[in-house]
Amino acid sequence: MSKRDLKKYLNGLSKEQLEEQLLELYDKFSEVKVFYDFIFNPKEEKLLQEAKVKISNEYFPLKGKRPKLRRSTAQKYIKHFITLGVDPFVVADIMLYNIEIAQTYSAKREMRYTSFYKSMLNSFQQVVQFSIENGILADYKKRIYSVYEQAKEQKWENYKEFERIIDNIE
């Protein structure tokens, strides 16, 4: 169904029928419930803290398990925040936090996985692009440079790529 057809269909419904359909969507689909819960009670700070705890748990588990080092955990939160329409400052913060916590971990333990470095480079590129697109680069420039400096200091195998990204934003 196209958007135009949907508009036509919705225009043909009474107010009560529209309300009934929205309530049905709210009950059936958890995504709709999450969306409306956020719209009416946007606790961005609480969401941010929950995401940070989950991400840090990937590198520094609270229980005696081995770290999983999954970038996908952070990516799920980032995608979820963007879908909800969370403030770009919060989204950029969680993007940078993901890289910073990974760097904290790699400072303590040598990483042998090329995929780890490639993944962090992708995350770095993503946060720089997101910051530029949302006009918040100036607010996060210090943290972005700090991430680059850490990659260089830790002698990450792809720190030259980080440098290339930094050169492009200047």
Compute the half-sphere exposure of residue 43: CA atoms within 13 Å on the CB side of its CA: 8
Same domain? For 90 and 8 the reply is no
pLDDT(43) > 80: yes
Tell if the pTM clears 0.75, that is, is over it.
Answer: yes
Burial class (CB in 10 A: 0-12, 13-18, 19+), 161: middle
* Helix, strand or coil, per DSSP, at residue 115: helix
Same domain? For 96 and 37 the reply is no
Same domain? For 33 and 59 the reply is no
Q: How far apart are CA 41 and CA 155, in angstroms?
A: 44
Same domain? For 54 and 35 the reply is no
Same domain? For 68 and 127 the reply is yes
Same domain? For 124 and 62 the reply is yes
pLDDT bucket at 64, cuts 50 / 70 / 90: confident
Same domain? For 4 and 85 the reply is no
What pLDDT is recorded for position 38? Answer: 84
pLDDT(65) > 90: no
What's the distance, CA 120 to chain centroid? 13
pLDDT bucket at 129, cuts 50 / 70 / 90: very high
* Helix, strand or coil, per DSSP, at residue 136: coil
pLDDT(1) > 90: no
pLDDT(167) > 80: yes
Same domain? For 64 and 91 the reply is yes
Q: Work out how many domains the chain is built from and give that number.
A: 2
pLDDT bucket at 66, cuts 50 / 70 / 90: confident
What pLDDT is recorded for position 49? Answer: 95
Domain of residue 113: give its range: 50-169
Same domain? For 81 and 130 the reply is yes
Same domain? For 29 and 84 the reply is no
What pLDDT is recorded for position 70? Answer: 86
Please state which of the ranges 36-40, 62-66, 93-97, 114-118 shows the lowest mean pLDDT.
62-66
Same domain? For 83 and 19 the reply is no
Same domain? For 153 and 112 the reply is yes
pLDDT(170) > 80: no
What pLDDT is recorded for position 168? Answer: 86
- Cα–Cα distances in Å, from 127 out to 1, 12, 136? 35, 44, 10
